[in-house]
Amino acid sequence: MTKKVKDIGEQGLLERLQRFCPPEMIGDDAAVLVTEPEQSLVVTTDLLINGVHFSDVTTSPEDTGWRAAAANLSDLAAMGATPLGITVGLGLPGEVSVSWVERLYQGMTECLQKYNTSIVGGDVVRSPVTTLAITAFGQAHPHRIIRRSAAVVGDAIVVTGVHGASHAGLQLLLHPELKQNLNNTEQEALIKAHQRPQPRLDVLPILWEILTPHSRTPHDGSPLKSGNPPTRLPPPFGETPRPFGFGSPPWTETAKMGAASPQWLLSTPNSPLSVAGMDSSDGLADAILQICRASGVGAVLECRQIPLPQAFDHCLTEQQALEYALYGGEDFELVLCLPKELANTLVQKLGQDAAIVGIITAEPKVLLHDQQQKFPDQVLSLSQGFQHFQS
């Protein structure tokens, strides 16, 4: 009998397709292309389909556009890259209103402008279902690329913010009766978390400030390679308008004129930095499982250390709140693995809802542990979260 995609699921299909790509290009939130010795081009693609990834019932065109752009920028943040621009492929039925399309692009533009980047091209075709395909481009110094495969035993696991809020917001939109236990401020915060997620590009300059003096041997024991400081590095967000296209970045001209640069631009690594990670767009459990799988390690996740929205205290049971945080997805926070002393510094600098939620272990499994022993230890697996093609 012919095997079908639904029989192997999303993860199984991706594993089969990996053989068509160079091994070193697969397995992270984005692909990395070395364009010159001191600069890498980081590329990521996301596909969104009406009725699967978005719906007019729960999301306005502007919010759909924002979410689409934010998802791609989050992938760049997860790789340690600064955005350069995106291209947009749009397929849609002829009956879609022009206003809807313009509002969609307005939402994308609003998100991109916050991070000094823009739409730089794309294509439009007729399609029976509205489909949005975005490719985002970013840049990073090769030694500042964040890989899933760089976690080592003893690393602390850091999350940069609360988890479960986006899924809770979606549930409020789908089931308005759930709002009865929440005040207006709590409702608006959860719905905004779903409709207007914030890619954590703001974490990168803080991370580099902490990590630049530190490096280590990768988990596989291979030697580190030295490199020269880059001739240019990304600017802090909101500092200098970015040109339309991929020409020479404006901050290189600023440097030539002798303008002062922020300290995080001046500190450049000579060896790979001591951090592994990805974003939590597919859920916190998925992120930790993927990192451990790529790094050949395991983890213990402390369920009571996971930062949750305060609103959960009076609208969800503890079990429901944990399920939302682990498997809800689309929170777009960063999940980072780094030495404990550096993790403590990062959490302190990020403040608010950043937290250390676990530790990397040698045994290749991810264990969910409850220090209060209210819940039994549970081994997590990819099959527990959302996957396309699951029946």
Give the per-residue pLDDT at 382: 81
- State the CB neighbour count (10 A cutoff) for residue 129: 11
- State yes or no: 53 annotated in a binding site: yes
Predicted confidence (pLDDT) per residue in 75-91, tens digit = 999 999 999 999 999 99
Give CATH 3.30.1330.10 domain extents, the chain: 5-144
Instruction: Flag whether pLDDT at 375 surpasses 80.
Output: yes
202 known member of a binding site: no
With 0-12 CB in 10 A as exposed, 13-18 as middle and 19+ as buried, what is 372?
Answer: exposed
Q: Is 353 one of the annotated binding-site residues?
A: no
DSSP 376: -
What per-residue confidence (pLDDT) applies to 208?
A: 93
Does the annotation list 46 as a binding residue?
yes
Give me the residue label for tokens 């608010």.
352
pLDDT band at 385 (very low <50, low <70, confident <90, very high): low
pLDDT score at 30: 82
122 is in an annotated binding site: yes
Q: Is the pLDDT of residue 18 over 80?
A: no
Among the residue ranges 120-124, 176-180, 215-219, 330-334, the one predicted with the least confidence is 215-219
Q: Which of 2-6, 64-68, 69-73 has the lowest mean pLDDT?
A: 2-6
Do the annotations mark residue 330 as ligand-binding?
yes
Distances (CA, A) of 77 to 81, 181, 377: 6, 35, 32
Nearest to 325 by CA among 145, 165, 120: 165
Q: Would you state the pLDDT for residue 34?
A: 80
Q: CA-CA-CA-CA torsion for 314, 320, 323, 324, nearest 10 degrees? A: -40
- Are 369 and 380 spatial neighbours (Cβ–Cβ below 8 Å)? no
Summary mean pLDDT of the chain: 84
Whether residue 315 is predicted with pLDDT greater than 90 in this model: the reply is yes
Q: Which CATH number does 148-218+271-384 carry? A: 3.90.650.10
The reported pLDDT for the residue numbered 271 is 58
% of the chain beyond a pLDDT of 90:
68
* Overall average pLDDT of the 93-101 stretch: 97
Position 46 pLDDT exceeds 60: yes
Beta bridge partners, 135, equal: 45, 87
The answer to whether residue 341 scores a pLDDT higher than 80 is yes
- pLDDT value for 209: 92
Q: What is the pLDDT at residue 253?
A: 32
Is 123 annotated among the ligand-binding residues? yes
d(CA 360, CA 381): 16
Contact between residue 260 and residue 251 where contact means Cβ atoms under 8 Å apart: no
Q: Is the pLDDT of residue 227 over 80?
A: no
| pLDDT of 234 above 80 | no
Pairwise CA distance, residues 95 & 92, whole Å: 8
* Per-residue pLDDT reduced to its tens digit, 187-216: 999 999 999 999 999 999 999 999 876 655
Residue 146 has pLDDT above 70, yes or no: yes
Confidence at 284, pLDDT banded by 50, 70, 90: very high
Instruction: Say if residues 276 and 338 touch (Cβ distance below 8 Å).
Output: yes
pLDDT digits (tens, 9 = 90+) for 259-277: 333 343 334 555 566 799 9
Cα-Cα end-to-end distance for the chain: 18
d(CA 321, CA 268): 41
Q: Is 10 annotated as a binding residue?
A: no
User: From CA 292, how far away is CA 151, in angstroms rounded?
Assistant: 7
Give the CA distances from residue 170 to residues 182, 295, 353, 362, 369, in Å, rounded to whole numbers and listed in that order.
Answer: 14, 33, 21, 37, 27
Fold of 5-144: 60s Ribosomal Protein L30; Chain: A; (3.30.1330)
Question: What confidence tier does 31 reach under pLDDT thresholds 50, 70, 90?
Answer: confident
The answer to whether the annotation marks 29 as part of a ligand binding site is yes
pLDDT at 24: 67
Has 20 been labeled as part of a binding site?
A: no
> What residues contact 255, with CB distance under 8 A and at least 6 apart?
232, 261
Q: Which residue(s) pair with 134 in the sheet?
A: 46, 88
Residue 170 has pLDDT above 80, yes or no: yes
Q: Is the pLDDT of residue 224 over 70?
A: no
Q: How confident is the model at residue 173 (pLDDT cuts 50, 70, 90)?
A: very high
| Virtual torsion, Cα 345, 348, 350, 354, nearest 10 deg | 100
Asked whether residue 93 carries a pLDDT value surpassing 50, the answer given is yes
Q: What is the pLDDT of residue 243?
A: 32
- pLDDT recorded at residue 14: 74
103 is in an annotated binding site: no
CATH 3.90.650.10 domain locations along the chain: 148-218+271-384
Give the integer Cα–Cα distance in Å for 46 and 207.
Answer: 26
pLDDT more than 70, % of the chain: 81
Assigned token pair, 362? 């040698």
Instruction: Indicate the pLDDT class of residue 15, thresholds 50, 70 and 90.
Output: confident
Please indicate if the annotation marks 44 as binding a ligand: yes
Q: How far is residue 217's CA from residue 314's CA, in Å, rounded to a whole number?
A: 46
pLDDT, greater one: 93 or 5: 93
CA distance 213 to 365: 31
Q: Is 144 a residue whose pLDDT tops 60?
A: yes
